[in-house]
Chains A and B, each alone.
Chain A
C-alpha cells in the first residue's frame, strides 16, 4: 500500500482515536456510532470499529456506544470498551449521578454534553478536569424543534469537536442511513446536524487543578464469590425500589393538579412505573378513602399514559428542562 499521510493527529499508544458515548437506550447513541464509523471508514478511508454495551432490547436504560478509529493500515486488535476516550459524549446530564461518566477523561480530551446549561456550570456539575475542551449543546431543544431524535444534533457537535471528521463524510453517511429507508427524515436530520454544529457553547477548561482526572476502574460490586448467596438467589425482595429511573424520560414529565383530581385511580391502572402515589385518609364524611398525592418522579419514565387516561386533565405533560 502506498505511504499515506496520517489522518489522526491524536491517538493512544496503540494507534487508536477513541470515542465513548454515554447514553440512554432509545436516544440513538448506537445509530450515531454507526453513522460516525461509516463516515470515518467508508468516506474517509480510516480503519475503525463501532460497538455498544447493551444487553436485551429495551428503551430507557444506560447504554454506551464506542468508536475507535485508526490509520487505514492499522488493525484494531483491542476489542474491549473505550476506557480513556479522546472524546466523551454525554447524552443526558442525569447520567452523571448514576454512571461514572468522566472516568478516563484526560487533559487534551474533548467532552460534549447535551444540556440547556452553559459550560461554566456544566464544568462543575460533571467535575471536568483541566485541559479538556468542553462543548455544551441543547440537543433536546433542537431535536424537539426539528422533530428528530437527539443523535443527529449531537453528531453535528461531534463533527465540530473532532478535527479530522469532515462534515461531508458525516453528511454522506447520514444520507446512506436515512436516504434509503426514511427519505422524509433526511432534511430535518441534516438541519439538526447543522444546528448541533453551530449552536454550541465551548470552553477550554483551565488547567487549574480543580478536579482531578478520574482513573478508569472496572465496576466491582460488593457481592462477589466469597459473599454472594449461592445459586444466584436474590434474598432482597423489591430492591429495585432503590433505582432512579428519571433518566429514561425524554424531555417531558407528568404534572399533577390536585384541584382537578377526582382520585378515580385510572392513572394507577395504566402506570407501568408504579409511580402514582395513593394514600388512605379520611374524606369529608370521616370515612377512609384512597387519595392521590402525586407522581413519584424517581420512577416515572415519562410515557404520559397517565396524562392520556385522566378524565379531568388533572395530569398534564410538561417540558422537563432539568
Chain B
C-alpha cells in the first residue's frame, strides 16, 4: 500500500497525502477513489499495472470496483460499452495494439454517447513488436470522437483522470474520455505526487452521474444502437456539438479542480513563451526535457520557448493561435509519423490551426523523434532548438526528418553465426511412427532420452528465458519427436519475446511472429499458400512441418482464429504452452488460471480469494472441433510428450489440424524454486488436475493414469508446493479447496468415461 509520510492541508483545501508513485499506480488510486462500478480490461504492457494495482487494492478491501478481464481488448471494450449502457461508471486501460484491436468499439462508445474513462498508456504500435512508448497509438484515436486529455507526469495522471470523468459526464458533453500518458516514462517512473486523503473529496467533486437512457430499466424500454441511414449525419452533428460544448466545460472544471487541489491546468502548457520568437512543441513527457533545454538556450541569450497540450480533443486551436502569434519558427516534435504527408499528426494539426489565423506568419516543420521509446536526451533537444534558431535566420532547409535514427555501419556485413540446420540435420531417424493394424491407432518407437540428445534443438542457446523456464524444455521435448524441417510461428508471449530480441534470434529454423490474437490465422495462410505455390510449380515440394506456438494467453485472445483454423483443417500443429497466466506481461490471470490461484490480477486478500472461476479446458474445446488429433503433454513425462509429437506430425501431414496443450512450468510467477519443476509438474499430473491423454480421430485414450499406477494424490499435495496456491493449505480456504477438488474430479471422471468408451 501507499507509504504515507505527510498529509498537507492549506488554505482550507481538503487534505492531501504525499506519495511516491508512478503514473499507473496513480491511475489505479484515482480509479479506486472514484470507485468505478466496473473495470473491463485486457492486460497489455505498459498499461497492465493499472488493473494489477486496482486488483491488489480490491483484494485488500480498499474499493469495490468490479473487475472484468476481457477475452482480448476488443472484448474488454465491449464489456465497457455494455456496462456504460446501464448507467454505470466504467474504466479501462490499454496501450498500442490493444487499443487498435479495440478501436472499432471507440466510435460505438462515443457515437452512442455513453461516457467512460480510458487510460491510454502510449506505446509504439507493432510490428515489428516494440513495447516502449511513442504516440503512434494515440493518433489512431483522433477521429473517434473521444475527449482526449494528456498527462505529462504522474501527478497529472491522477488529476486528469478525475477531471476527465467529470467533463465526460457533464450533461452538455456526454462523451467518453481518454487520458493519455507516456509508456514507461510516465507509467513507470515513480515520482512525488499528492492525492486526496479522503476519497469522498474525489467523489463529491465529480458528483452524480446522470445518464439519460439506461439499458436496464424494464419500465422504460429503449433501443440503443439502431441502424441509421440518412439520419446518421445528424447523430454525428450532435456529437460534434458535444465536442464544442466540452471546451467551456473543461475550462470550468479546471477552475473547480484548482480550488480543491491547488493545481491549475489549462488547455496548453507553455514555458517562457511570452516573448519567444523560436519555439518547440513536444507532447507529454518530452515537454519537461524541452523546458530544461529552453532554460539553457535562454541563458545563451535566445528568445525561445516550449509548448505542450493538456487537452488534445477538443483541439485547442484558439489557444495555440494566441501563444504562437509572434513566434517566427516552430519545430514540432512528432512522436509518430503519418507516412507520406511530410510530418506527424501534431505538426499537421498545428499547421492547420495556424492557417485559420490570417495574421499568423509562424513557419512550422516536423521532427519525428523517440519512436519505439528511443530515449531523447537533453543534449538532443538543445540541438533541435539550435537548429530551429538557425532556421529562423536561414529559412527551413529540411521540413521533415527523423531525429535519433542511426545509419549503421554500411561496411558491416553480419556473418551467419551458425550454419542453418539442414533437412538432413533435422532427420536423424530416431523416432518413427506407424499405424497399428489392429487398433488403427498410431504406434511410436525410438523415443529414448539418451538417443534423442542427437536431435538438434530447433532453438539455440543464449535466449532470454528466465532461469528454470518450462517453455524451452516443453518445446525441446516436443520438437525432438518431429523429424524433418519445420517452420514455426509464435504468438506474442514469453516464448516469443525470449527468442527474437533484435538483432538476435534464437530460432535455428524459420520463425514468424504475429500478434497474439492472430497466429493461427497467419499460419493458415502460410500453410495453404505454400501448397499453392508448390501446385503452381514455383517452389519444390518439400515436407515442412508447420507448428504454431501459442501460450494459454494467446489462446484466450486468439481463441476465435484458433477455432477457425481448426475448422478449416489446415495441415498444421498448434502447440499451446499453458503456464496458467499471462506471464510475459507480469502474471495476470488467464482463463486457464485455475480457481483460487493468485495472479497479479487475482490477488488473495481479505476481500478476495484469487481467481473467481475455473480453468478453461482448451483441449476439450478444440476436441469439439472434431480435428484428427488432440493431446495434452508435460515435460515431467517427456517420453510421452515426444511420442505425441510424432503422432501430431503424422496427423497434421495426413489429415489436418492438430492441437496440443503442454502444461508448462513458470517458477517466477508460480512462486516456487526452479529446481522443483519435476516434482511440481508430476504432482499436477498425479492429482489428475492435468491428465495426460490424447484424442485420435475422436477416440480418447488416457496415456498416463495415476490411479492405475497407484500414484494418485490429493489436490492439496500439488497446491502446497507453490506460493501462488499456498493459501489453500489454510483452514479458511477449505471451501475454496473443496470447489477446486470437485471440479478436478468431475473433469477426471468425465475423461475416464471418454477413455472407456470410443463413442464418447
On A, residues with C-beta under 8 Å from B are: 14, 26, 34, 37-38, 41-43, 47-52, 55-61, 75-81, 83, 173, 176, 180, 218, 220-228, 231-232, 234-245, 248-250, 263-266, 268-276, 278, 280, 289-290, 296, 298-299, 301-305, 307-309, 317
Contacts and interface: CB of A to CB of B under 8 A. Distances in A.
Contacts of A173: 3
B503 A242 contact: no
A30 to B, nearest CB: 10
Contact of B292 (A14, A37, A47): A14
B497 A56 contact: yes
A52 B504 CA distance: 23
Given A77-B291, A265-B452, A303-B468, A222 B678 contact: no
A269 B288 contact: no
Given A57-B587, A269-B477, A270-B677, A236 B503 contact: yes
Given A76-B191, A266-B449, A59 B467 contact: yes
B507 interface: yes
B508 interface: yes
Contact of B190 (A50, A239, A269, A270): A50
B393 interface: no
A222 B5 CA distance: 48
Contacts of B449: 264-266, 268-269
Given A237-B507, A239-B418, A269-B476, A224 B408 contact: yes
Contact of A223 (B414, B472, B506, B583): B414
Given A42-B5, A55-B131, A270 B635 contact: yes
Interface-centre pick from A55, A240, A245, A289 (highest chain B CB count, 10 A): A240
A226 to B, nearest CB: 5
A104 B375 CA distance: 17
17 contacts: A26-B467, A55-B131, A55-B132, A57-B583, A57-B585, A59-B467, A227-B407, A234-B500, A239-B414, A239-B418, A240-B505, A265-B453, A268-B453, A272-B468, A280-B454, A296-B461, A305-B678
Contacts of B414: 222-223, 236, 239
B377 A80 contact: yes
B224 interface: no
Nearest to A216: B377
B1 interface: yes
- Interface of B, secondary structure class, is loop
B339 interface: no
Contacts of B409: 222, 224, 227
B408 A301 contact: no
Contact of A242 (B3, B417, B466): B417
A278 B451 CA distance: 10
A173 B4 CA distance: 10
B697 interface: no
Interface stretch (B114-122, B172-180, B213-221, B668-676): B668-676
Contacts of B191: 48-49, 76
A49 B190 contact: yes
A241 B407 CA distance: 26
A60 B466 contact: yes
Interface-centre pick from A220, A225, A249, A273 (highest chain B CB count, 10 A): A273
Contacts of B583: 57
A72 to B, nearest CB: 9
B440 interface: no
Contact of B418 (A41, A231, A238): A238
B373 to A, nearest CB: 9
Contact of A37 (B185, B190, B452, B473): B190
Interface residues of B, number: 97
B21 to A, nearest CB: 10
Contact of A42 (B18, B291, B450, B462): B18
Contacts of A78: 288-289, 292, 378
B408 A222 contact: yes
Given A78-B289, A273-B461, A58 B189 contact: no
Contact of B462 (A48, A232, A243, A276): A243
Given A226-B407, A227-B412, A269-B476, A57 B20 contact: no
B179 to A, nearest CB: 19
Given A42-B18, A227-B409, A274 B472 contact: yes
Interface in B629-683: 635, 638, 667-668, 674-679
A273 B499 CA distance: 12
B12 interface: no
Given A14-B292, A34-B190, A80-B289, A176 B128 contact: no
A221 B473 contact: no
A197 B4 CA distance: 26
Given A50-B20, A51-B188, A237 B416 contact: yes
Interface-centre pick from B1, B499, B509, B674 (highest chain A CB count, 10 A): B674
B678 A308 contact: yes
B23 to A, nearest CB: 11
B587 to A, nearest CB: 7
Interface in B471-515: 471-473, 476-477, 494, 497-500, 502-510
A194 B668 CA distance: 28
A280 to B, nearest CB: 7
Given A242-B417, A305-B678, 10 more contacts: A77-B292, A227-B412, A228-B408, A234-B502, A237-B416, A239-B417, A239-B418, A265-B451, A274-B476, A317-B675
Contacts of B500: 234
Interface-centre pick from B6, B192, B418, B668 (highest chain A CB count, 10 A): B192
Given A224-B409, A278-B453, A240 B462 contact: yes
Given A237-B507, A237-B509, A241-B462, A303 B675 contact: yes
Nearest to B185: A79
B404 to A, nearest CB: 9
B587 A50 contact: no
Contact of A272 (B417, B451, B469): B469
B459 interface: yes
